[in-house]
Amino acid sequence: MAFFSKLKDRLFKSSSKLEEGLEAIVDDGGEEELIEANEPAVEANATAETPDPAPVDVPVSVEDAVPEPEPEPEPEPEPVAVVETPIKVSPEPVDALVDPAPQDTAKPGLLGRMLGRREAQKVVRRTVDDDMLESLEDLMITSDMGVDTAMRVTANISERYLGKRLSVDEIKAVLAEEVTRIMEPVAVPLPLYPKRPQVVLIVGVNGAGKTTTIGKLASQFTTAGKKVVIAAGDTFRAAAVEQLQVWGDRAGVPVLTAPEGSDPASLAFDAMTQAEADGADLLMIDTAGRLQNRSDLMEELAKIVRVIKKKDDTAPHNTLLVLDATTGQNALSQVGTFQDLADVSGLVMTKLDGTAKGGVLVALADKYALPIHAIGVGEQIDDLAPFDPEEFARALIGITD
């Protein structure tokens, strides 16, 4: 199955919520129209404003991302976007002006057919006015896209379409275009640097999906030919360490552990030593997610960073915050909290499958503009996908091909 339809199927809860809302908005005050097949609803110049889709994979350059104190002996670094490896989708153009799903078809009469008239279709359209825009704004807010985003998107729609008549499918296309535009700048694959080992610190609350994401990433990096080492930094929870070992086995990657209750910073230091000795390309360090005791966690993370820096003062090279999409608006506040605790460099959003809260990604992008490196769409090892803004927008809004 193509990944696009997979994501669409998995985001169905978000999309069906939006879809039902849009249908209700258009039905409320909309009127049925008979249109010629493929007749545009609004002037062609509206499409002229459609932005060109940005390239999906935009690796961050090494120079920009990691200040190197000494020049590397290697030739000019080539950032490798590991999350783009397994699945590649070609974005499809958003055609805002064609109503692709007629609800009914009226056959032309004999005379019409003899004169070669095209088939007419029935479609319900509603005039874009203040009431309609307000309903649209409310729908976006209840779909977790955030108040600011909802206001901005409806303002854009108002500017382009006020007074024009749009069908559900046409509004969906316009919305997908707007969401794509917001998401494009944050769609940045996890960068790989020539620095060995590249140290990736994984942070996030318990249950967000850190262990699973580390396992999935380790598998993808390994498939991409990278040597990976994992450090089980949540030393206070034996179950967490065991789970990480299970994922390490699945990915074929060694997991370094320390006795229960021992200092996570000391494990991080040992892991650095071993990763260096092994010539590992990547060291992924899991961390605890006990937000209940914030100051302890802050101290723990700060200490891990301090000892890592003793080995390599440019490390950690990435601090990934793993967020659970099912927590909706809570994911937003977690970003704020973890930005205070650690220097978050990018996000992975898990559990986008089977949630009606996928819209929170739009609010996150709009508010924090942090790179979204990948999304989790299931519990299996392959269920980590590159973040493709257009694909996401179409899946979120429920556009069918």
Binding site for ligand GTP (CB under 6 A): 204, 206-212, 240, 243, 289, 350-351, 353-354, 376-379, 383
Residue 13 C-beta: closest distance to ligand GTP, Å? 12
Residue 124 C-beta: closest distance to ligand GTP, Å? 36
Give the residue from 294, 325, 308 showing the smallest Cα distance to 396: 325
Residue 297 C-beta: closest distance to ligand GTP, Å? 12
Residue 40 C-beta: closest distance to ligand GTP, Å? 39
Rank residues 123 and 384 by Cβ distance to ligand GTP and give the closer one. Answer: 384
Q: Is 320 annotated as a binding residue?
A: no
- Dist CA 71 CA 385 (whole Å): 33
Q: Is 288 annotated as a binding residue?
A: yes
Radius of gyration, alpha carbons of the chain: 24
Rank residues 210 and 357 by Cβ distance to ligand GTP and give the closer one. Answer: 210
Q: Is 152 annotated as a binding residue?
A: no
Q: Is 205 annotated as a binding residue?
A: yes
Rank residues 60 and 385 by Cβ distance to ligand GTP and give the closer one. Answer: 385
Rank residues 193 and 387 by Cβ distance to ligand GTP and give the closer one. Answer: 387
Rank residues 94 and 232 by Cβ distance to ligand GTP and give the closer one. Answer: 232
Residue 211 C-beta: closest distance to ligand GTP, Å? 3
Return the residue matching tokens 């108040």.
147
Q: Is 252 annotated as a binding residue?
A: no
Give the pairing of strands 198-203 and 282-286.
parallel
Rank residues 30 and 233 by Cβ distance to ligand GTP and give the closer one. Answer: 233
Rank residues 99 and 286 by Cβ distance to ligand GTP and give the closer one. Answer: 286
Residue 202 C-beta: closest distance to ligand GTP, Å? 9
Give the pairing of strands 120-127 and 104-106.
antiparallel
Residue 379 C-beta: closest distance to ligand GTP, Å? 4
Rank residues 239 and 277 by Cβ distance to ligand GTP and give the closer one. Answer: 239
Residue 126 C-beta: closest distance to ligand GTP, Å? 36
Q: Is 208 annotated as a binding residue?
A: yes
Give the CB-nearest residue to ligand GTP: 376
Q: Is 325 annotated as a binding residue?
A: no
Rank residues 167 and 212 by Cβ distance to ligand GTP and give the closer one. Answer: 212
Residue 79 C-beta: closest distance to ligand GTP, Å? 25
Q: Is 204 annotated as a binding residue?
A: yes
- The answer to whether the beta carbons of residues 256 and 262 sit under 8 Å apart is no
Q: Is 376 annotated as a binding residue?
A: no
Q: Is 211 annotated as a binding residue?
A: yes
- The answer to whether the beta carbons of residues 89 and 3 sit under 8 Å apart is yes
The 3 state secondary structure assigned to the chain is CCHHHHHHHHCHHHHHHHHHHHHHHHHCCCEEEEEECCCCCCCCHHHHCCCCCCCCCCCCCHHHHCCCCCCCCCCCCCCCCHHHCCCCCCCCCCCCCCCCCCCEEECCCHHHHHCCCCCEEEEEEEECCHHHHHHHHHHHHHCCCCHHHHHHHHHHHHHHHCCCEECHHHHHHHHHHHHHHHHHHHECCCCCCCCCCEEEEEECCCCCCHHHHHHHHHHHHHHCCCCEEEECCCCCCHHHHHHHHHHHHHHCCCEECCCCCCCHHHHHHHHHHHHHHHCCCEEEEECCCCHHHHHHHHHHHHHHHHHHHHHCCCCCCEEEEEEEHHHCHHHHHHHHHHHHHCCCCEEEEECCCCCCCCCHHHHHHHHHCCCEEEEECCCCCCCEEECCHHHHHHHHHCCCC
Q: Is 289 annotated as a binding residue?
A: yes
- Dist CA 338 CA 346 (whole Å): 11
- The first and second tokens of residue 246, run together, are 């299970």
Q: Is 195 annotated as a binding residue?
A: no
Binding-site residue ranges: 204-211, 286-290, 350-353
Binding-site residue ranges for GTP: 204-211, 286-290, 350-353
